[in-house]
Amino acid sequence: MPNMKVVDMAGKEVGEITLSDKVFDAEVNEAVLHTVVRAYLLNQRQGTQSTLTRTEVSGGGKKPWNQKGTGHARQGSTRAPQWTHGGVALGPKPRSYRVTLNKKVKKAAIISAFSAKAKSGELIVVDTIKADAYKTKAMVGMLSAVGAGKKSLIVLPAVDSMVIKSCDNIPGVKTTVTCAINVYDILNCDSLVMAKEAVEKIEEVYAK
């Protein structure tokens, strides 16, 4: 992987960094990316949706009319699915949507995601990302100076409450740390803004 420029928070070039070929220049496996993103989205579902069956709807204990001689179709309860206020036939019930993946698939997917961002020119490496106070304006200025897109993911090496809270009110901007980064967030952003130290930590884990 060729050297990539490193900028400061004002957008000025302050150096270069050599990215690992194993992490930022690997072959992009779209099938693995699809599998991991699908699993991530399924795991976000609570699975608490529920409908009442005819046995759970109140009322309907009395047979509405005689079995024969009325000219109506025979009915046993007013809480059958075809009746207004009746139960739901074959409706959803609480269930788990949990999908598990092995470590090799997860690693291959996150490497593919980083490589895709690097190859498409959507990776921005910033020397240090920090905030001296809780100032949204400072983070907006930083993102504008480094040329980040409207949907940006800022990756920090460790939790920095000032940076995180300063970015909370910026539409389309999300912050994360290296230990909590996921494939969906990487692919879902227009610009991946990473602190230099965060890049080094990612390479320590995934370049093995």
Span 48-65, pLDDT tens digits: 999 999 999 999 889 999
Cβ atoms within 10 Å, residue 201: 19
What pLDDT does 57 receive?
A: 95
Mean of pLDDT values over 191-197: 96
Which SS3 state, helix, strand or coil, does residue 22 take?
helix
- Do 75 and 64 contact (CB within 8 A), yes or no? yes
Which SS3 state, helix, strand or coil, does residue 7 take?
strand
Distance from C-alpha of 29 to C-alpha of 116, rounded to nearest angstrom: 9
Residue 1: which pLDDT band, with cuts at 50, 70 and 90?
A: low
Which of 121, 144, 137, 141 has its CA nearest to residue 190?
121
C-alpha separations of 2 from 61, 145, 204 in Å: 76, 23, 18
Distance from C-alpha of 176 to C-alpha of 155, rounded to nearest angstrom: 5
Mean of pLDDT values over 78-88: 95
Query: Residue 196 carries which side chain, given as an amino acid letter?
Result: K
What pLDDT does 2 receive?
A: 67
Mean of pLDDT values over 200-207: 94
Residue 3: which pLDDT band, with cuts at 50, 70 and 90?
A: confident
Percent of the chain with pLDDT over 70: 99
**Right CATH number for 3-30+101-206 from 3.40.1400.10, 3.40.50.2300, 3.40.1370.10, 3.40.50.300?**
3.40.1370.10
**What's the whole-number average pLDDT of the chain?**
95
Residue 208: which pLDDT band, with cuts at 50, 70 and 90?
A: confident
**Every domain of the chain and the residues it spans:** 3-30+101-206, 54-93
Mean of pLDDT values over 108-121: 96
Distance from C-alpha of 71 to C-alpha of 52, rounded to nearest angstrom: 30
Predicted confidence (pLDDT) at residue 198 exceeds the cutoff of 80: yes
Mean of pLDDT values over 86-97: 96
Span 10-45, pLDDT tens digits: 999 999 999 999 999 999 999 999 999 999 999 999
What pLDDT does 123 receive?
A: 96
